[in-house]
Structure 1
Amino acid sequence: MIHRYATFIKAINLTIDYIILNISMVIAYLIVDKSYIFWIDNKNYLPVVLVFNLIWLLSANISNLYEQVLNKDSISTYQSVFKTYMIFVALICFTIIIITGTKAYFITRTYLFCAIALFGFLLGLWKLIFLSIRKGDRRLLMDKRNVVIVGAGRQGMDLYHYFEQNSERGYNMLGFFDDDPSRVNNSALFLGKADECLAYVIANEVHEIFCALPSSEAASIEKLMLDADKNLIRFKIVPEYYSYTNRPTLIQNLGHIPIISLRPEPLESMLNRFIKRVFDIAFSLFIIVFVLSWLFPILAIIIKIQSRGPVLFVQERSGKENETFKCFKFRSMRVNAESDKKQATKNDSRITKIGAFMRKTNLDELPQFFNVLAGDMSIVGPRPHMVHHTEQYSKLIEKYMVRHFLKPGVTGWAQVNGLRGETRTLEAMEQRVEFDVWYLENWSFLLDLKIIFLTVWTTARGDKNAY
């Protein structure tokens, strides 16, 4: 259920979950620890607290635990909680036991088991309490509001149909005010002319006025707005521009002038770009130093033994702002004349044995971390396409070039949603572009971490489109 308190209740859920997590850790510490050091003074304990809290945030983001907290039924709620909890446990075990090591902070496996088990029990109990509270008070949270619409043109009628089809939003639409009664098909919804609106609103406890008059009625709009302010009635304007696009828009102000952006772009923020770039450098350096340093020569020898040609396959790809760059990959095919135009297909005779293995496990993409370090690519972003395909699809798909507002990525949102490899139809490419544009409009650092986790998970599980 969507209503005006959804964000507040989401924040309450997140806060209480974190309180339960940290209480569980403290109780487990008091039960298991034998050092007799007060937990807040134990410097070996505090890093683990940080790890637990960060991993719960990542797990909840991966599973979308806090989305639609008032709309999910009890079964769906517990399914989401269980899924998040299992991801949390898996990541904790991987991070603490494998990477950090239990000896590093003198945290025993007994403590880990006790803290995780206690957290799971208390979390399940809290969700039961929350569902009980929600069942009794959900109607109160709806906060029904009486509203009227001034202007029964296209904008006004579209808004009316939205209210009618989305009753859960809490708007009780009383009717229209318009100087032309014939515009209102249902005569029961016609409340009077535009200049009669204010008197009706005051007399009938109307909470909000939605003004859908055209901009040519600027004088009437301004008068109605001022009168509404004087009488403590919320006044909202439905702009005419909305008919140009069917997507959410971003409104910014340059002085008193509103500027409408057709799509939000979080990475337009310098701070967000800085965070993403720092992560790209740190992550790519880690892969290059600890993985490629020993894996590169092994794969290079096998590639050279199985087929003639260079170890690396270097190809011109389309990057940010459609600037081309040289994209590096381990060569997985025999040298051929079609490599710059023809995509790899299932059972492609050009692919070598080691190439098939590398493509299945994504090892052929590892040299692209050098592209990331150089700044041509990012860890996460739209996959870079061949220049030939960019020229081809930009003429066929309207939003195709939008994906080039971002740096291309080693992995991407489309890829973890099963849209990787060969694009046999135009519809398949259109779907991939839709996912790339969604990533552009919804970027966050946690989303990048989620995509990286899902990439590793999908690779380990096996992807039928990887060939």
Structure 2
Amino acid sequence: MPRTLRLLKWFNFILDVLALNASLWISYGVFSAKKNIQLFQVLPYLLIINFGWLFVQSFFKIYDNYQHRNSVSIFSRTIKSFLLFSLCLFLVFMLSIQNSFFRVIHSTHLYFYLGAWGMFAYLLLLNRIVLLSIRKTIRQSIHYSKKNIVIVGQNSSSRTLSNLFGANVVSDYNIMGIFHDQQEKLDESALYRGSTTDCIPFIRNNRVDEIFCTLPGVSKENVNILMHEADRNLTRFRLVPDYQEYFPGTISIEMIDNIPVMTGRKEPLEDIRNAAFKRCFDILFSLFVIVFVLSWLIPLLGLLIKIDSPGPVFFRQRRSGRSNQPFYCLKFRSMTVNAQADAQQATKGDARITRLGAFLRKTSLDELPQFFNVLVGNMSVVGPRPHMLRHTEEYAMLIDKFMVRHFLKPGITGWAQVTGLRGETRTTGDMARRVEADVYYLEHWSILLDMKIIFLTVWNIFKGDEKAI
């Protein structure tokens, strides 16, 4: 049975490739073959699309460790892979319409790509649901053989492991015993088998697949003995450091040469693949807004701003960016020209706000020029809102973890803004709650969270946000 689970990832890969090519061939038959377009004309593009999917799936490693990864992680990686693949498909589409040899498709090439894209999305989702159901059935089968493990040592890590493996009915692990040298026993007394040295005859007389040895709590001498004994009995040996004393939350581990280095905060965007994906999304999204919205909105609002009050159309202000590096943040000017613009935060009923400016701020239209900041790389579509330099200096002295938010690029909108924390910060507590939301976003980033924030931002614009100033 474990071998069957390991083979599932290959079944998954093969089914995905079949789903992609079935989508392409069906779309070709529906939209292209009837227009007398020869197969050899589209074949190069079909091959490019296939190689695109192979690149994307290897980039996100969506099939790696498939038998152990939870369903949320599998769906998350699949969605990110599909979105990046959609970008590849768009680039192939742009290439095809620029190629005079391919222009014979003319009115049908768009339908060909859209049809293949939609059908592949459906089949990809169906594959995941079916294969996850198969995996669950295999795990729950009475014939499914779990890995037999023992846990050595007693500390917070050993307790976490025993609770994790013991509570999860579909876990791949079966705890055969717990060994430690402390007098008091674990709550799971039925699992206690004796001291650390008692583990050696136990693994000799029983089929034990893996030893989880938690540190500290086991002497170096006993660790070496257990490692030697594990090798002799064809048992895999795992060392589990007790990091929870220093890092109570989630941690991130990276290897520097052969040295494991722990960080007390998980930052998904430190992964170059995630960062590259977010940057590609920022470029495409900002280009879309600039070309289809700002291209006609800037002249219109520029004229109205000039009529409403004297001064420039845009307001440029130095704000704190990633790594606390200052940059010029762009906005439509919503205030009369004043000397306090770079020092005094806008408040409700602020006399400096113009009549048109009040509308722009209420609808968040004043923030739209920041898509130029996104395009050049100063900002992201989603991230912590940038603050004035003076406010950064002040709040850094007052609020714990305030500077942590500067590990990210600032955003046009963010998790704080869609969870009721936008607008004027009247107290230090208001800013502390906003910082807490920003740190949450830093530690839990995903493309799905970005999509959710963008959706809620647009929803709030149409619904109206009473905290908008």
TM-score scaled by length of structure 1? 0.71
Residue of 162, 165, 176 corresponding to 2:178: 176
Report 1:380-391 matches (<5 A).
380-391=382-393
C-alpha displacement of 1:361: 4.5
Aligned partners of 1:70 and 1:134 also within 8 Å: no
The aligned residue for residue 35 of structure 1 is 35
The aligned residue for residue 247 of structure 1 is 249
User: Quick check: 1:152 aligned with 2:182?
Assistant: no
The aligned residue for residue 106 of structure 1 is 107
Q: Structure 1: how far apart are the matches of 2:266 and 2:302?
A: 43
Letter in structure 2 aligned against 1:390: T
User: Quick check: 1:214 aligned with 2:213?
Assistant: no
Letter in structure 1 aligned against 2:19: I
The aligned residue for residue 20 of structure 1 is 19
Q: Structure 1: how far apart are the matches of 2:430 and 2:319?
A: 20
Q: Structure 1: how far apart are the matches of 2:208 and 2:48?
A: 53
Given the superposition, is the C-alpha separation of residues 199 and 429 from structure 1 closer, same or farther in structure 2, using an over 3 Å criterion?
Answer: farther
C-alpha displacement of 1:8: 8.0
Letter in structure 2 aligned against 1:29: Y
The aligned residue for residue 62 of structure 2 is none
Q: Structure 2: how far apart are the matches of 1:122 and 1:137?
A: 22
User: Quick check: 1:329 aligned with 2:331?
Assistant: yes
Letter in structure 1 aligned against 2:219: E
The aligned residue for residue 355 of structure 1 is 357
Aligned partners of 2:415 and 2:441 also within 8 Å: yes
- What value does the CA root-mean-square deviation take over the aligned residues? 5.2
Q: Structure 2: how far apart are the matches of 1:122 and 1:71?
A: 17
The aligned residue for residue 205 of structure 1 is 207
Report 1:49-448 matches (<5 A).
105-107=106-108, 130=131, 133=134, 136-140=137-141, 144-184=146-186, 187-214=189-216, 217-265=219-267, 267-268=269-270, 291-335=293-337, 340=342, 351-372=353-374, 375-415=377-417, 420-422=422-424, 429-430=431-432, 432-441=434-443
C-alpha displacement of 1:200: 0.7
Question: Identity, % of aligned pairs?
Answer: 45
Letter in structure 1 aligned against 2:107: F
Aligned partners of 2:385 and 2:411 also within 8 Å: yes
Given the superposition, is the C-alpha separation of residues 346 and 138 from structure 1 closer, same or farther in structure 2, using an over 3 Å criterion?
Answer: farther
Aligned partners of 1:380 and 1:448 also within 8 Å: no
Moved more, 403-412 or 162-171: 162-171
Letter in structure 2 aligned against 1:318: S
Aligned partners of 2:405 and 2:442 also within 8 Å: yes
The aligned residue for residue 61 of structure 1 is none
C-alpha displacement of 1:409: 2.5
Given the superposition, is the C-alpha separation of residues 344 and 115 from structure 1 closer, same or farther in structure 2, using an over 3 Å criterion?
Answer: same
Given the superposition, is the C-alpha separation of residues 132 and 314 from structure 1 closer, same or farther in structure 2, using an over 3 Å criterion?
Answer: closer
C-alpha displacement of 1:205: 1.9
Given the superposition, is the C-alpha separation of residues 142 and 389 from structure 1 closer, same or farther in structure 2, using an over 3 Å criterion?
Answer: farther
Given the superposition, is the C-alpha separation of residues 174 and 277 from structure 1 closer, same or farther in structure 2, using an over 3 Å criterion?
Answer: closer
Q: Structure 2: how far apart are the matches of 1:441 and 1:147?
A: 32
C-alpha displacement of 1:231: 1.4
C-alpha displacement of 1:214: 2.0
Residue 194 of structure 1 aligns to a residue in which SS?
Answer: coil
Aligned partners of 1:10 and 1:69 also within 8 Å: no
Aligned partners of 1:142 and 1:169 also within 8 Å: no
C-alpha displacement of 1:197: 0.5
C-alpha displacement of 1:23: 1.0
Residue 198 of structure 2 aligns to a residue in which SS?
Answer: helix
Letter in structure 2 aligned against 1:195: T
Aligned partners of 1:384 and 1:408 also within 8 Å: yes
Given the superposition, is the C-alpha separation of residues 16 and 280 from structure 1 closer, same or farther in structure 2, using an over 3 Å criterion?
Answer: same
Aligned partners of 1:377 and 1:407 also within 8 Å: yes
C-alpha displacement of 1:207: 2.3
Deviations 1:151-175 (A, max 9, x none): 2244433433343444443433333
Structure 1: state its 5+ residue gaps.
58-65
Letter in structure 1 aligned against 2:234: L
Given the superposition, is the C-alpha separation of residues 414 and 45 from structure 1 closer, same or farther in structure 2, using an over 3 Å criterion?
Answer: farther
The aligned residue for residue 60 of structure 1 is none
Aligned partners of 1:25 and 1:49 also within 8 Å: no
Letter in structure 2 aligned against 1:317: R
